Amino acid sequence: MRALVLTFLRLGPCGAYGLAAMFLASMVLLARYPASEFAWLLYMTILPVMREPVLMLLAVPGIGFWGAAAILVLAALFGVLLAIRPDRYPRMRFVHAHVALIATALATVRAANTQAGLSGLSLPQMLRGDWALVPLASSPLGTALFVLVLAACVCSHAAIIRRIRAR
């Protein structure tokens, strides 16, 4: 039972990368079927959780939309391998989990001051007086994802400390 719970916790970063890939898919669905309620529901549910990390990834020169989708899907699949075989690649698991933690933390902090534009230097929404249709960062999905990824980071730290003590 303990091994199953730890495997589930180690799959937390896969959820973050997979959710970011789903956000890109929801953008495609929304562009293709703008009148679809499902496309809007999917997009608006994932938007406050993955907006900032995905937009930062798309802003990297040379990475297009489909390149970003491929990177996120491969990162999620690689995370499954890391979760199933945790003792094989402890450093990679550490990096994989912490990149996901930074992305989810950035999304949580940046979504707290949601804005309609992409400018990072603008005043928070409440001070400006204009309101976007984006829900607040305290969405249950974002909170659950952050806690799950944080638990994966704690697991990777514990594994590295355990490995150092064994030497």
Q: Tell me the pTM.
A: 0.78
- pLDDT range class, residue 91, cuts 50, 70, 90: confident
Residue appearing with tokens 């890109």: 24
Distance CA(58)–CA(2), nearest Å, equals: 38
Using CA atoms, how far residue 161 sits from 29, 94, 165, 166, in Å, is 44, 12, 6, 9
Exposure pattern of 87-100 as b/e (b: 16+ CB <10 Å)?
Answer: eeeeeebbebbbbb
Half-sphere exposure of 127 (CA within 13 A, CB side): 5
Please state the φ and ψ torsions of residue 163, each to the nearest 5 degrees.
-70, -40
Digit-coded pLDDT (tens) for 136-148: 446 788 888 888 9
Strands (E), 77-129: none
Asked if residue 7 lies in contact with residue 84, where contact means CB atoms within 8 angstroms, the answer is yes
Q: Output the pLDDT for position 49.
A: 85
